[in-house]
Amino acid sequence: MRCVGAPRRRSLENVNARWPTSQQAFADAAEWFVATTTLVDGRWDAPGLGEWDVRSLAGHTSRALLTVETYLGRPAEVAEVDSAAAYYGATRALAAGPGVAERGREAGSALGADPVATVAAIAARVLPLVAACDGTEVVTTIAGGMRLSDYLPTRTFELVVHTADLAAAIGVPSEPPAVPAAQALELVADLAVEQRAAGPLLRAVTGREGLPPGFSVL
């Protein structure tokens, strides 16, 4: 599998300026995920997140890597979704559906007898694929065609958020690496502005007041 060329509708200068940071963010987040799985220490059946156990949570998190691999094999002619925030807007209904939980359980089962080795092997397979891309590739996602430079930050976000979930589930420190953390927070800010929820978020993170019950930008 290799990256295929894409239509150049967006300025290459803009894509190229941000792409190395996106590559690093994704790689650092993936490495943090791999490292965190080594700390599970056999607790794969312990509670993970919601209805998921730790195995299912790790399986769901691994899909942030696997979907990149899959979508790179599905080039699209046109970029229909033009940002990471727009991707979440387009997939919000799907993300709330029951299929997500089931796919997580299936992905957890697919990690097999040695989930740590399986996760490491997935990362070792996917990271070189991304390293070989230039970000202008257009891939077919569940939301439609997207430039890889727009899609990849959504996968970094998923790795950051769910690795933090995994770390919390097994009781280890959950501070993500700086580059993916910054990119994930940038996406949170974009989503908050898009949903006119920036006010409550800003007041909370500056110590004014807590967030309303159930607050989410997703």
Say what the pLDDT of residue 99 is: 79
Burial (CB < 10 A; 0-12, 13-18, 19+), residue 27, is buried
CB 26 within 8 A of CB 157: no
Say what the pLDDT of residue 7 is: 45
Give 120-159 pLDDT, tens digit per residue: 999 999 999 999 999 999 999 999 999 999 999 999 999 9
pLDDT class of 3 with cuts at 50, 70, 90: low
Instruction: Please give the radius of gyration of the chain, using alpha carbons only, rounded to the nearest integer.
Output: 17
Say which residues have a Cβ less than 8 Å from residue 214's Cβ, sequence separation at least 6.
Answer: none
Q: Which amino acid, one-letter code, is at 190?
A: D
- 23-30 mean pLDDT: 98
pLDDT class of 212 with cuts at 50, 70, 90: confident
The listed CATH number (3.50.50, 2.20.28, 1.10.10, 1.20.120) that belongs to domain 14-205: 1.20.120
Tokens 């807590």 sit on residue: 210
pLDDT score of 1 more than 90: no
Percentage of residues in the chain with pLDDT exceeding 90? 80
pLDDT score of 35 more than 50: yes
pLDDT class of 100 with cuts at 50, 70, 90: confident
CB 209 within 8 A of CB 199: no
- The H or E element containing residue 212 is none
Q: Which of 61-65, 97-101, 173-177 has the lowest mean pLDDT?
A: 97-101
Domain boundaries, the chain: 14-205
Average pLDDT, rounded, for the chain: 92
pLDDT score of 96 more than 80: no
- 45-65 mean pLDDT: 96
pLDDT score of 36 more than 70: yes
pLDDT score of 71 more than 80: yes
pLDDT score of 169 more than 90: yes
- Name the more confident of 122 and 89: 122
pLDDT class of 8 with cuts at 50, 70, 90: very low
Say what the pLDDT of residue 11 is: 56
- Name the more confident of 16 and 11: 16
